A and B are shown apart, each in its own frame.
Chain A
Amino acid sequence: MHITVVRRVKPLPLGNVLIPSLSIITGILLASLILYLLMNIPPSQFFTYVGEGFVSLETLRDFILLTILGTALIISFKGAVWNIGAEGQITMGMLAAAYVALFTNLSSSPILGKITMVVLALILGGAWGLIAGVLKAYLSIDEVASTLIMNYIAYYILNYLVRGPWKGKHTYGYIRTDLIPESVCFSTLPIRGITITYEEILLLIVTLVFAYVLLYKTALGVRIRILGSNPEALKAAGVNVKLLIITLLTISGAISGIVGAIQLAGYLHRISYPIETHTPYLGYTAILVAWLSMLDLRAVPIIAFIIGSLNQAGRLLQIAGVGGIAVTYLFIGTILMTFTILRVFSEYKIKLIKG
């Protein structure tokens, strides 16, 4: 008797719902097992935190930011261009927004100041994506490697500024910038326990509408989807594939850049050194959101909420003295691993053959 993998005649019914759900459940179970074995955290405690994550108001912030980032990533993932550098693009966006807020006169006019912050974040985040795009299109350097390497470069550029020329005057010995002027801080919703702002809700809606129109209503959207499935056909049709790859990474980076501006103006209000230990690593978590959504825009908010809750559970574990970012990485790993394997079964099935 042996086991073989055969192609299904039709894709697994409801596979788009079944596979992500199963992956999340299996991934969480695996993560809790590893946490129990390595850190002696009882699964009951872990599951309590996961449950709390789902009902915590704090989760809403991650939900919004992960929805924006997930959208940014599926735009590039749909073209089979793997932008793993949202983390660096967020960092560059934050840098741009901080520059406008701290060192220009624009902060005297709240509306103009905020708009400039977001636009500059968009441009710098986009530029960060563009570099990886050029490297991939013209030199066929794998974008996974280049975008990840550029995350570190972005961290260190911002760290350099915060430690050097941007170091604040009133920081009580901490290495960090001054607070950005209140006039350009986003306005928080008047609900206790929530750190969501009106501006980010607006940006979320704009992003979703933009992505919907881009992917489903424009010729560019069609090209992006064909790039993901059959790039040769695209070349044969005379489409400039190099330019398309660069465009994808630039758009993806630009949207990610906005998140940096939201984080700064929404709740951080200053940048602390070193940035890599003060970021919630949403750029990495968003990869999980994009993949589990099966690259379907409608599923992005749902998955963003689930993953945001898990992120919050990781944060609660950190407050309890274990894990933190380690737990976040762990569940990204276990869920993604399960998903990668399970996804095979939407198109293939395993058969036992006698003899």
Chain B
Amino acid sequence: MNTIIHSILAVAPAFTAYYLTALGHGFFEKSGVLNLAIDGVFYLSVAIAYASAIYTGNPYIAMFISALTASIFGILLAFIVTKLPISHGAAGLSLMFLGYGLGALIGNPAVFKFREIKMANIGFSINIPRTPLTSVTLFMVSIVACLVLLYILKGTKLGAAVRASGEDPHAASALGIDVLKIRLLAGAIGYALIGIGAAIFELVWLPTWQQMHGMGHGWIAFAISLSSGRHPILTMLTSTAFATLLTYQYLLQAAYNLSPEIAKMTPFIAAIAAMTIFMVTPLRRKLSPPLSLGKIFFKEERTL
């Protein structure tokens, strides 16, 4: 019994990291913005969480800084694709590359700082300790985040406005919804969750850093969200599947004597498989993406 509980609790860090990231991503996309910046900003947030935990010595402040930075990127993306007639894909991709560049520039020097501090104080660590209490807290946080977002989406005016902006921004606008404001808000909330997810990835799950650390995991979260139709509760199921796979891939590797490369490849193959499965099943029709996802929203000026 004890071992079962322990093996469930062990999944908590990966689960929460992916779940919050996928949840934030899905919420933002509900507002109609195709979010291709996710991997770059996830990587940047991981780097910022790592660096600020080293410089401030406090992982919770680091998590806050990470969420704040990610939020700024979300607001920026929402602003340019709503205010200007710009391709969502191009805007998202350029922010992704910007995130990769900034992330590496911020993460790399922090490694030296970390070693320096470690020399003076051998007990220094940046991570939030992985106790059973931490795991339980993380699960609670995920459930609360899920319920809050469900409530916002289904039970509030804001949620209705977010969904309307994603389905048909022109109609929404005609009904008096300020699409720009709604998308800015969705971007801020969605990306704050992505930033927190990335911080948990770094500070609880894998507290280390090298050049490509965290790169690609944003895409896994993207696949998690897509293959659950961006639904907060279903996203929990897909996140559980991926988190279990990732937490235990190293055990599997040892048990079956697999190459570490095969283990590293598995989540990416699973990401493609998950999207494929979702798309071929009837789920696809029940949980279809917002109608105007990624479409340019731009009102032609007729008065001039």
B-contacting 9-mer, from A159-167, A185-193, A239-247: A159-167
Contact A330 B101 (CB under 8 A): yes
- Closest-by-CB residue of B relative to A132 is B272
Q: A145-B223, A164-B259, A276-B212 are in contact. Are A333 and B85 (CB under 8 A)?
A: no
Identify the closest chain B residue to A332 (Cβ).
Answer: B97
Task: Please determine whether B304 and A351 come into contact, CB atoms closer than 8 angstroms.
Answer: yes
Task: Give B49-94 interface residues, CB cut-off 8 Å to A.
Answer: 80, 83-87, 89-94
Chain B residue at smallest Cβ distance from A38: B105
Does chain B have a CB within 8 A of A233? no
Q: Which of B87-142 contact A (CB under 8 A)?
A: 87, 89-106, 108-109
The docked-state distance in angstroms from the alpha carbon of A164 to that of B260 is 10
Cβ contact within 8 Å between A326 and B301: no
**Smallest CB-CB separation from A338: which chain B residue?**
B94
The answer to whether B101 and A331 touch across the interface, beta carbons within 8 angstroms, is yes
Q: A337, B280: Cβ atoms under 8 Å?
A: no
How many angstroms from the CA of A82 to the CA of B262 in the assembled complex? Answer: 28
Whether A160 touches B265, Cβ cut-off 8 Å, given contacts A144-B93, A284-B97, A337-B98, is: yes
Report the minimum CB–CB distance from A285 to chain B (whole Å): 10
The reply to whether A336 and B100 contact each other, CB–CB distance below 8 Å, is no
B276, A340: Cβ atoms closer than 8 Å: no
Q: How far is the CA of A287 from the CA of B90 in the complex (A)?
A: 10
Shortest distance from the beta carbon of A231 to any chain B beta carbon, whole Å = 13
Contact A160 B261 (CB under 8 A): yes
Contacts of A340 in B (CB 8 A): 80, 86-87, 90-91, 94
Chain A, interface size: which category? Answer: 35 or more
Q: In the complex the two chains form, is A329's CB within 8 Å of B97's CB? A: yes
Q: Establish whether residues B272 and A144, one from each chain, have CB atoms under 8 Å apart when the complex forms.
A: no
Which A residues lie within 8 Å of B95 (CB)?
333, 337
Contacts of B265 in A (CB 8 A): 152-153, 156-157, 160
- Residues of A whose CB lies within 8 Å of any CB of B are 4-7, 31, 34-35, 38-39, 82, 84, 135, 139-142, 144-146, 148-150, 152-153, 156-157, 159-160, 163-164, 276-277, 284, 287, 291, 323, 325-334, 336-337, 339-341, 343-344, 347-348, 351
**Which 6 A-B residue pairs are closest in the complex by CB-CB distance?**
A330-B101, A333-B98, A326-B104, A329-B101, A336-B94, A160-B261
Could you write out 19 A-B pairs with CB less than 8 Å apart? A4-B304, A5-B85, A5-B298, A35-B105, A38-B105, A139-B276, A140-B279, A144-B36, A145-B223, A145-B226, A152-B216, A156-B261, A276-B212, A325-B104, A329-B98, A332-B94, A333-B102, A341-B86, A344-B85
Other than A145-B223, A340-B86, give 13 A-B pairs with Cβ distance below 8 A: A6-B304, A35-B105, A135-B272, A144-B93, A160-B261, A163-B261, A323-B105, A330-B97, A330-B98, A331-B101, A336-B93, A337-B95, A344-B85
